[in-house]
Copies of this chain bind each other. A is one copy, B any other.
Amino acid sequence: MKTLKDEILQRGAVLSDGVLKVDSFLNHAIDPNLMTKIGETFAERFQEEGVTKILTIESSGIAPALTTSLQLQSELVFARKRKSLTMRDDLYSAEVYSFTKQQASEISVSKEFLQPTDRVLIIDDFLANGQAALGLIDIIKQSGASIAGIGIVIEKTFQPGREILEQEGYKIESLARIASLSDGKVTFYTEKEQTSQ
Contacts and interface: CB of A to CB of B under 8 A. Distances in A.
Interface stretch (A21-29, A147-155, A171-179, A183-191): A21-29
Interface residues of A, number: 41
Contact of A59 (B19, B33, B36, B58): B58
B84 A28 contact: yes
A30 interface: yes
A149 B148 CA distance: 41
Interface of A: 13, 15, 19-24, 27-33, 35-36, 58-59, 62-63, 66-67, 69-70, 73-78, 80, 84-87, 100, 109-110, 112-113
Contacts of A75: 29-32
A147 B13 CA distance: 29
Stoichiometry (number of copies):
2
A195 to B, nearest CB: 30
B84 A30 contact: no
Nearest to A22: B86
Contacts of A67: 66
A29 B66 CA distance: 11
Contact of A70 (B36, B58, B76): B36
A69 B67 CA distance: 12
B59 A78 contact: yes
A24 B86 contact: no
A45 to B, nearest CB: 18
A100 B23 CA distance: 30
A29 B85 contact: no
Nearest to A30: B76
